[in-house]
């Protein structure tokens, strides 16, 4: 039997699976879904990797992906979580960055090789774009967020940490 769906269809379905903590960014834009393939018999393979190794939402995200595949009548699928390819904040798409900013979360700056953590001290404020900001603490309400303060608009804000 030839499957009625292609990889592109699966990608469209999965584009609706959002990060449970940041419900405006899809797992594809976040870079958590690494690879999707459909074989000749219609079996769907999805490779995922967590942002942070200890991310408690990983199981939940995997189940969401499986649910979406089931909802679209995919009978045969395999969703794998591994560290074979390691997530970095550079993997967040431009689309994802724009969504983060709109959500009030400063997107992580893109970096080359190793992120210099001094960049944490002048993160542009997601509300007023000022870089007159300081890092309050590299640890925030979730593993992937740091906390900052903007001296221009006098508001606290969070950043998705560069990793």
Are residues 139 and 97 in contact, defined by beta-carbon separation less than 8 angstroms?
A: no
Nearer Cβ to other proteins (16/59): 59
State both tokens at 58: 């990983």
**Which residue of 2, 40, 73, 83 would you call a contact of other proteins, by CB under 8 A?**
83
Nearer Cβ to other proteins (23/138): 138
Are residues 142 and 21 in contact, defined by beta-carbon separation less than 8 angstroms?
A: yes
DSSP string, 136-149: EES--SSTTEEEEE
**Which residue of 54, 73, 112, 154 would you call a contact of other proteins, by CB under 8 A?**
54
Are residues 110 and 92 in contact, defined by beta-carbon separation less than 8 angstroms?
A: no
Are residues 68 and 82 in contact, defined by beta-carbon separation less than 8 angstroms?
A: no
Instruction: Show contacts with other proteins in window 114-143 (CB under 8 A).
Output: 115, 117, 136-141, 143
Nearer Cβ to other proteins (17/144): 144
**Which residue of 88, 90, 93, 155 would you call a contact of other proteins, by CB under 8 A?**
88
**Which residue of 77, 87, 157, 160 would you call a contact of other proteins, by CB under 8 A?**
87
- For residue 37, the surrounding DSSP H or E stretch is strand 33-38
Name the site residues for other proteins (rule: CB under 8 A): 52-56, 83-84, 86-88, 115, 117, 136-141, 143, 147, 161, 163
């Amino acid at each position: 039997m030839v499957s009625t769906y292609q990889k592109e269809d699966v990608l469209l379905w999965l584009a609706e699976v959002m990060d449970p903590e940041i419900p405006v960014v899809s797992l594809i834009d976040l870079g958590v879904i690494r690879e999707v393939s459909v074989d000749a018999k219609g079996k769907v393979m999805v490779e995922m990797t967590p942002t942070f190794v200890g991310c408690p939402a990983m199981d939940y995200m995997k189940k969401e992906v499986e649910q979406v595949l089931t909802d679209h009548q995919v009978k045969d699928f395999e969703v794998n979580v591994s560290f074979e390819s390691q997530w970095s904040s550079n993997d967040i798409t431009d689309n994802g960055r724009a969504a983060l900013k709109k959500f009030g979360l400063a997107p992580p700056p893109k970096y080359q090789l190793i992120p210099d953590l001094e960049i944490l001290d002048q993160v542009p404020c997601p509300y007023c774009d000022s870089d007159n900001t300081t890092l309050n603490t590299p640890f925030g309400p979730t593993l992937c967020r740091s906390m900052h303060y903007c001296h221009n608009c006098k508001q606290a804000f969070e950043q998705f940490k560069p990793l």
